[in-house]
Amino acid sequence: MSSPLHIKVALIGNPNAGKSTLFNALTGLNQKTGNYTGVTVDRYEGSMSFEANNTLIKCNIIDLPGVYSLFPKSQDEEIACKTLLHPDEAIDVVVIVADSTNLRRNMLLVSQVLDLKMKAVVALSMSDEAAAQKINIDVKGFSESLGVPVVPVDSRHHTGMHALQQAIASATVTKAVFHDLGDANIRQFADYRAFVKAALTKPNAKAENRDKLYRHQVINYVLNKHLQLPAELSRKQITATIDSVTTHRIWGYVVLLAVLFFVFQFIFMVSEAPMNFIESAFLSLGETIQASLPKGPLSELVVNGILPGISGVLMFIPQIAFLFLFIGFLEDSGYMARASFIMDRMLRPFGLNGRSVIPLISGTACAVPSIMATRSISNVRERMITIFILPLISCSARLPVYTLLLSVMYPPQHVFGFFNARGIALFVLYLLGFVVSLATAWVLKKTVKAKENSFFVMELPVYRWPQGRSIGIMVVNKVKVFVKEAGVIILAISIVLWFLSTHGASEKYEALVMQEQTLTAQVAPDSLIQQVVAQQLEHSYIGTLGHVIEPAIRPLGFDWKIGVALLTSFAAREVFVGTMSTIYRSGDTESEEGIRQTIVSEKDEYGRPRYTAAVCWSLLLFYAFALQCMSTVAVVKRETKSWKWVIAQFVFMGALAYFSAFIAFGVLS
């Protein structure tokens, strides 16, 4: 066998043509995710190897964003076209993926790519569905008319993969011509490639329309020769029947709400067990390591710094995996397109589009996977607006804070006989998050300039049963990206917060450390040791910062103790409860009731109750709006690929939280 041949292959096709499924079938888990230079759009690459003509072929495959034509109308389409034509990319073979069940619509892009005079192969995807619908394609005659290999493939069942690999190895440049060389708008260019390059920098609508008009004439001629459609397409009839409900102006919303309710109830219920298992496993691991290692800085760093950081990363995996499992299922089945379609009109006045609905609703579970879910939004401005507002929606991490503070204010009583007072307040907080997020989106729509026109063009594909393997690969890749990129930032911040809360520069801090060690050696009561630990926290670096910021947070009704809780809960909002327990020397750190009683009995310097309704509502609004989550910061940085958006988001939400809390405290005092 001769030495291996390395080639670069690009997959291009219309949205919903089966391109990503084919990419997964060819590459499996041999994939990596990067980004195109200077933009936030992800670049998916994979590899595969096979033998052809007694030669080992090693392919690097690029999965280009979906496009309808080579005259782009969005950033995704522009990137696909530029990548295909850029000399530095050095694309050896182009695989044009065309949907066998909707070939006429796909042929515009096929003809345009073939006119670029690159080595090409046409992959007829969903060939199994075409056969089921009795769509007959004369593959041999079609290949002769196009002048390149044409291969029917069924990516979902891995049919035609070997034939496609062999076609890639023997790919040719077509001699056929699909554009009108006599048109004055095109004749001035040396070839069609030059015409497309010129259109990328200076669009010419008149020339583009004339080009498409001529192409459709050629396409009709070719398809009339080689394509036979049945009189009735049963799959499309079934789809139309289902759509009469799922896209109905009333029942469509009912179905969507039912689907979302089921999805997020399932995510909450099913992910709770593995998340608790991960947390318990790391607690047990920490206890084992603490018992094994000599007590000292190394043991403290591992047990209270590194392990919580790793745990904070891995605990999100069940929610991320289950959310993307459902997103993949809804996408692959064809329902996601319907959900986006019916919500588009409602969300568009706020600078969003229909694809924003899943991230917005999933934000009630966790902002991290919901921000990652915005990748389905092709318009850059609308995606950035969605990412910007998502942390304003109350997530599950806020629930421990809400529950504790509401239980301090309101006894377990009913309003009007059957409405729970705490439940009403909780509903108000969640509703407030949605209202403020949409209002923020509306302001951003007016202020953020768009570099591209906002189009919501979406084909409603036929309903089909999702393919488990393809969804599984997608879920694994999403989890890998989160752990690899966001996890590094989360771990780093966790270690920094540990250091600040367990170290201090004053002599008082050192004396308290010695006192704790003495009490531990003497097996003193836990309540006494806890009291010393609370004093240590006050005199640590982070406690010192609490005292430093106290003048700034006094107008909100907060003292230095609450300031420390605000700082430590940046790691995660739910840390607030544990910090309050430590500060107020509550021995019962596992019991919310024990912490609540301690807080209720807390007095200010004048002997009055510290946690009045004014202070509690000030805290509630602060936590409702402040960006108190390092995981969210990490994933926003990863998704926007810019610290500019992270800083802007942090400053805006911080200012909103501060002034909301200030107003609440002033009004209720």
Round to whole Å and give the CA distance between 332 and 562. Answer: 47
Round to whole Å and give the CA distance between 365 and 632. Answer: 13
List the CATH code of the domain at 2-231.
3.40.50.300
Tell the residue number behind the tokens 């345009």, with chain if given.
112
* Nearest CA-CA partner of 309 in 643, 630, 632, 642: 630
* Nearest CA-CA partner of 43 in 27, 61, 58: 61
Round to whole Å and give the CA distance between 252 and 337. Answer: 12
Round to whole Å and give the CA distance between 613 and 405. Answer: 9
Residues of the chain with pLDDT under 50: 585-592
* Nearest CA-CA partner of 621 in 667, 660, 655, 580: 660
**Which helix (H) or strand (E) segment is 420 a member of?**
strand 419-420
Residues paired with 9 in a beta bridge = 61, 93
Tell the residue number behind the tokens 């729509």, with chain if given.
445
Q: What number of other Cβ atoms are within 10 A of residue 534's Cβ?
A: 18
Tokens of 320: 């991320």
Q: Which pLDDT value is given to residue 184?
A: 56
Q: Which pLDDT value is given to residue 622?
A: 94
How many Cα atoms within 13 Å fall on the side-chain side of residue 451? 12
Round to whole Å and give the CA distance between 242 and 364. Answer: 29
Round to whole Å and give the CA distance between 84 and 94. Answer: 8
Round to whole Å and give the CA distance between 150 and 143. Answer: 5
Q: How far is CA 232 from CA 99, 128, 244, in A?
A: 18, 17, 18
Listed in order, strand segments (DSSP E) in 171-296 are 227-228
Structural contact between residues 363 and 395, judged by C-beta atoms closer than 8 angstroms = yes
Structural contact between residues 200 and 74, judged by C-beta atoms closer than 8 angstroms = no
Q: Which pLDDT value is given to residue 588?
A: 41
Measured in whole angstroms, the distance separating CA 101 from the mean position of its chain's CA atoms is 30
Residue count (the chain): 669
Round to whole Å and give the CA distance between 490 and 492. Answer: 6
* Nearest CA-CA partner of 572 in 323, 313, 338, 354: 313
**Which helix (H) or strand (E) segment is 495 a member of?**
helix 487-502
Q: How far is CA 339 from CA 243, 252, 259, 350, 379, in A?
A: 11, 8, 10, 17, 17
* Nearest CA-CA partner of 13 in 100, 130, 119, 128: 100
Round to whole Å and give the CA distance between 31 and 473. Answer: 9
Hey, is 190 helix, strand or coil?
Answer: coil
Hey, is 49 helix, strand or coil?
Answer: strand
| Terminal Cα distance for the chain, rounded | 84
3-state SS string over 282-336?
A: HHHHHHHHHHHCCCCHHHHHHHHHHHHHHHHHHCCHHHHHHHHHHHHHHHHHCHH
Q: What is the DSSP letter of 172?
A: B
Q: What is the DSSP letter of 156?
A: T
Helices (H) and strands (E) in the chain, counts: 31, 11
Q: Which residues of 318-341 are buried (b: 16+ CB within 10 A; e: fewer)?
A: bbbbbbbbbbbbbbbebbbbbbbb
Q: Which pLDDT value is given to residue 415?
A: 56
Tokens of 123: 């992959």
State residue 178 phi and psi, 5-degree precision. Answer: -115, -5
**Which helix (H) or strand (E) segment is 425 a member of?**
helix 421-447
Q: Which pLDDT value is given to residue 427?
A: 75
Round to whole Å and give the CA distance between 154 and 86. Answer: 30
Cβ contacts of 260 within 8 Å, gap of 6 or more: 358, 361
Q: How far is CA 543 from CA 451, 495, 531, 579, in A?
A: 46, 16, 15, 11
